[in-house]
Chains A and B, each alone.
Chain A
């Protein structure tokens, strides 16, 4: 491969120019003096470390050391601004003094003064893009170990929907609405390196910031179009050491059951179904010695959850450290599922003169007992099996191998016993995840710093799957055991190197940053399976004697990027930030390999203007606006390389007297050689207001994202010869939305309380799909049938597209009157069946009569936190919800369809009959000739909900009791999670969502969230 001769010389020269310009400006414009002093707490007189000292009207400043001391070189007539979390800000004109001591007055205000942005930090008041900071006080009150789940409802514009309540399951995270029909996952940066947030102990988190618009995220270029979540873990601070111990334990259980028929209800429904069809009843419904099992009771069970975390943090001026170890243990709320994680983290920083080096290291081992069977994304999950099972079947049968029972009668549906499946199958995964990074910072000049960071993430995953021999019925018997072991190894390495420079000239302040980064991801997997082990106790692959199979793959991708940023402010009133990043990715052919992503943002601090009164009720008012371009390359590796498929079941065939399998090899997919970067252009306008010394904060933002060159798998007709269409950059879509955040705190006195709320809304619209009919049909409930959503140009992604019901036919006359020019609209209908609307009035009831009926995207979603402290007591309440989102209730479809004999919803006993003509449930009719169970609004439900997500009451022991024991803090609490959900949705849980974009709002047997009750302690020594 030839080297690319154009390789960024322009950029190099440009950057060099910037540096030379910067150096040339290192001129002393005014008389400077060095000011030093000590900052103390006014109440206790103790020195305050880490106080921010800024120079008013500039972005310059420093912080105090452990002894509260500082030293700063400034203009002799500058004003110093001392600010610190929970203390009232002090402004102090220097007036020629060289020693200024300050005593700061503590106040009960929590502020997030510093936000972490890409490759650096920024004072919150200088932010011009859209950055959402998570209130860590809220997060600390949520039990659990999954950071993703905890972010639900915390930040305006960050939508989190659990994909499953299964222990250890990752949630669906969408920032600022769906922006592409491809991958919508945000980029996670953990301690400066891309990583996996599910592998971070939530007790170790120091801060979480979400970069929502292009201006803030563009520094992450190609992978930032879905937003960036920046997580920093806790580090030691200068001064002594402390030990923290947190622990909680509690129980969790299924929040609510679905209404399923018991045996006598089933018999009644089934008999009615067959009698209406003119057939004799099924034998087993007319009596006999059958059980009456409540399968939900058998399959779901309360589970235990506990978490312990011990950490030591501290340090000297040279060395700071944080060491933490934790253990998390969560049972599932179904039988035989659980998740455990053990983790260790060591973060340390060493400073010597101009050199600072440090590391972050974390190791997590987790063990998970999984739900067996396709869990959530389209397959026929075990939860569906629970609903299918007839109450007639007992759970156990001691005479069967394995001890479980199966269908008792030939005519019973051939559903397998879900308790047997879940209990007998071993389905355990084990993950070892290491995230390690080291960095070095060197101050070349006072205002010029060089940084180098090397990081590596190693994930080793292992799955152990074993099905023993067992017998539940002649249909479900396993005469031969099966063992499968899968291993994968994931290695990601990152190299970041940066130069930072900052300076000022008169009222001009600027910061420059330039960097280079390269990443490599390597994934290797090997899977092995064998049939027929000599005994159910033997679990070694080498012991198997049946058919064996192995598979595996190797995937590698690389990225290389150059980037730069300019922060400029004039007189601390007018702010400007400019970013540029150039990315090269191995996922594109040479001609399209590089993408350039610029952005710019401006801010105006109106309250800094001279015309603004100094002592106004409003203490901050800032307008922000930004524009930028971001890229997306989440398309999998090697997509542009045209390949020949070989060796799969689909294209292999058998020849010969010995029936040998021959490997097939043929082109099955058309090449996508021309694909290039998908680009999102994002615009953001924001307004920040603060009143009464930050007691009241308010932020409003409007954004508009436009994705172009969207990568679309063009659906092509099968007559072309390929079932999977080539990828093209043919699509485009728009997303826009509004976000509001407001906060109020009353900070003085014994009774301190606060309320914080956020609400956001977004709407997306597909503007182009790049192929003829421009539509995707999706949301299939059953193996490619029963579609529920459709995506067309001009509309939102994955809107429900369904037949419209119009009540029940009450008599034959109504059936006959429901006719068009071609005769009866529903020729197979009889009284008691559903009338479907001929919405286009063409006299035929067909696909064209389906109409759009909303989507899983809510009109708005919100989170509200109320917290209060009274003396030693604290209380917090967290509410969260969505409004206007729809859910297609697959469990309702499953339990209301009468074309099968699996179990039904109990309410079908009240189905329509000539005597019960007031019922809105269509008649029970075997075979469902009218298609009452066709995809229609019958199964579409309003899934708006308001949930009391967390309630916590805590009590901290008074200091006077603790001091003698060397205890700084000892807090006890009780906590209830997912306590109550107010909703009209009749399935298990309205908050869940499928992972696949075209079926997000389709509840196909999703594992429900648990309701939890916990007690815990937090102690600090």
Chain B
């Protein structure tokens, strides 16, 4: 061996293993933003608050209907959802659901995600630099309003739920325990109060649809209604009615045809658009879900027979059918039409089902010819609701005479004859529960079941009895002490051993 060979060998070895520059192993993610670079300016916070609102809609339009709408609406006495080929929904409607039902399971997940997003705003915004305090308070108040809204829904549907108001720091924090429902309600009231104090009373046209001070106040009133704190509720409603910018639209159906979105009658709506910039879809499939097959619909749910008959009694003094009856159901009647289609023109194409809901049945705001991509906003709280809740709060505080005009104000708009001015407290209560609210809010989002749930605190009221009286299909399956609330979703029970299942599930 010559020395030159050793030298050569050495150089090979050096060349082989040199150049160990670790930058080679550093790759940056160019698809998503790094957390360290977030919460820097108002733009970030606007994105965060946008995300906090987003859980009002769910992942896509189908999920919103199948999970959020079905879970919040199908158990009520106003809806008949007896189609046997949609088991997930039918089992909610007929009280045979089990804890693995995907509808309320997904709703739980979406709303707790919304709460997490709200908590991120609430925790991160106060410490940010370069934003003025009023702006920060506004964002925090908005997040608190949304957190309150999500909790109000969850505590009503599930009752025994965890209260999460901070961002999990350690892995132990992922597993939250349930708290007494009263603790949740205390948080809801506190959140709505703070929102009421920090939110603006209106937004510029670019930001219409965001919660205002009045929205927060309306929901604060609604929360008091749940707690049977009627005089506090009435105070909030009175303030909204006397100080707020609201009024009833002259025509009932204008609420639903897209012409007065975020309008004078609207306190809060889920915002949709038919536009699909870059393929993003923020629309609703409500058209398909309620329309008859002959109009391209899927016929997923219908007015209950009891509601339909009640609608037929909602007339003017002269006996003409009210605007809200014609504006809510689509049925065999000379004046009945939906989306410009008269009932008589499709009557022969109908199958077994003959009576349909039609509140959101308008195709004037859809994208690319697809009925399931409608830009119609979905109401969460209308001024009519504020008026009727106010009437209810007054009645419950023995101010029946003061309450009646508010009821009649709502009726008059639809051409319904006024109620008897001599109604007593219990008559008015009964009227609101079994006539007025069903007529006005039929099929609207998350109202009827929530009404039933809050009235259930009244020892003279029974959800089961109401369902039975109103011939809700399969009301016999309703077990008292069980079906007033949903079970904790099975996937949550499986993942978190701190949770206790709701009674009788």
Contacts and interface: CB of A to CB of B under 8 A. Distances in A.
B496 A516 contact: no
Contacts of B312: none
A1 B52 contact: no
B273 A659 contact: yes
Given A444-B9, A638-B29, A644 B35 contact: yes
Interface of A: 1-4, 7-8, 11-12, 15-16, 19, 23, 26, 277, 282-283, 409-411, 413-414, 444-445, 448, 450, 474-475, 477, 479-480, 497, 499, 514-516, 518, 529, 531-532, 546-551, 553-560, 562, 584-586, 590, 593, 637-638, 641-647, 649-668, 670-671, 714-723, 725-726, 771-773, 775, 777, 783-785, 787, 828, 846-847, 899-902, 926-929
Contacts of B132: none
A1007 B32 CA distance: 36
Contacts of B31: 553-555, 638
Given A551-B279, A655-B208, A655-B271, A584 B25 contact: yes
B292 A585 contact: no
A547 B367 contact: yes
A720 B116 contact: yes
Contacts of B52: 666
A652 B113 contact: no
A548 B279 contact: yes
Given A548-B279, A655-B207, A773 B494 contact: yes
A99 B57 CA distance: 88
B26 A1 contact: yes
Contacts of A723: 109, 113
Contacts of A499: 12-13, 16
Interface residues of B, number: 118
A721 B85 contact: no
Interface stretch (B226-234, B294-302, B429-437, B454-462): B294-302
Contacts, number: 331
A550 B51 contact: no
Given A444-B8, A667-B35, A716-B495, A641 B29 contact: yes
Contacts of B98: 846
B320 interface: no
Given A474-B293, A654-B209, A643 B47 contact: no
A208 to B, nearest CB: 30
A797 to B, nearest CB: 17
A988 B5 CA distance: 67
Given A23-B9, A653-B53, 5 more contacts: A557-B27, A643-B29, A663-B50, A666-B117, A719-B492
B276 A649 contact: no
Contacts of A714: 171
Contacts of A553: 31
Nearest to A531: B368
Given A642-B35, A644-B38, A719-B496, A653 B54 contact: yes
B1 to A, nearest CB: 7
A994 B368 CA distance: 35
Contacts of B201: none
Contacts of B76: none
Contact of A546 (B60, B349, B368): B368
Contacts of B207: 655-656
B466 interface: no
Nearest to A555: B31
Interface of B: 1, 5-6, 8-10, 12-13, 16-17, 20-27, 29-38, 44, 46-48, 50-54, 56-57, 59-60, 84-85, 87-88, 90, 96, 98-102, 106, 108-109, 112-113, 115-117, 119-120, 161-162, 164, 167-168, 171, 173-176, 205-210, 261-262, 271-282, 292-296, 298-299, 349-353, 367-370, 375, 489-492, 494-497, 499
B492 A718 contact: yes
Contact of B85 (A15, A901, A929): A901
Nearest to A448: B9
A514 B14 CA distance: 13
Contacts of B370: 479-480
B102 A784 contact: yes
Given A15-B13, A643-B33, A716-B174, A666 B85 contact: no
A665 B51 contact: yes
Contact of A720 (B9, B37, B46, B176): B176
Q: Which 9 A-B pairs have the closest CB atoms?
A: A721-B116, A549-B279, A410-B351, A665-B47, A664-B51, A659-B273, A666-B51, A7-B20, A547-B276
B102 A721 contact: no
A464 to B, nearest CB: 17
Main SS of the interface on chain A? Answer: loop
Given A444-B12, A661-B277, A410 B349 contact: yes
A653 B494 contact: no
Given A12-B13, A665-B33, A656 B209 contact: yes
B46 A662 contact: yes
A497 B16 contact: yes
A775 B25 contact: no
Most buried by B among A593, A649, A671, A784: A649
Contacts of A448: 9
Contacts of B492: 717-719
A558 B56 CA distance: 41
Contacts of A560: 20, 24-25
16 contacts: A8-B20, A16-B10, A411-B352, A480-B368, A516-B16, A585-B25, A652-B282, A655-B207, A655-B208, A659-B273, A660-B273, A662-B50, A665-B48, A716-B174, A719-B112, A719-B162
A642 B162 contact: no
A655 B209 contact: yes
Given A644-B32, A654-B271, A720 B174 contact: yes
Contact of B293 (A410, A558, A658, A664): A410
A927 B96 CA distance: 11
A656 B208 contact: yes
Contact of A554 (B23, B30, B495): B30
Contacts of A650: 54, 59
A900 B85 contact: yes
Given A532-B368, A653-B271, A283 B351 contact: yes
A4 B22 contact: yes
Given A480-B370, A665-B38, A1 B22 contact: yes
A514 B13 CA distance: 10
Nearest to A594: B25
Contact of A646 (B20, B32, B271, B295): B32
A998 to B, nearest CB: 14
Contacts of A719: 112, 161-162, 164, 176, 492, 496
A722 B205 contact: no
Contacts of B175: 716-717, 720, 772
B112 A410 contact: no
A644 B33 contact: yes
Nearest to A26: B1
B100 A787 contact: yes
A899 B87 contact: yes
A717 B490 CA distance: 10
Given A475-B293, A649-B280, A650-B54, A643 B32 contact: yes
Nearest to A452: B16
A474 B57 CA distance: 27
A13 B162 CA distance: 59
A927 B84 contact: yes
A490 B467 CA distance: 61
Given A12-B17, A651-B50, A558 B27 contact: yes
Given A3-B23, A644-B33, A644-B35, A475 B88 contact: no
A720 B282 contact: no
B33 A646 contact: yes
A279 B161 CA distance: 40
B87 A645 contact: no
A7 B22 contact: yes
Contacts of A647: 280
A571 to B, nearest CB: 27
Nearest to A7: B20
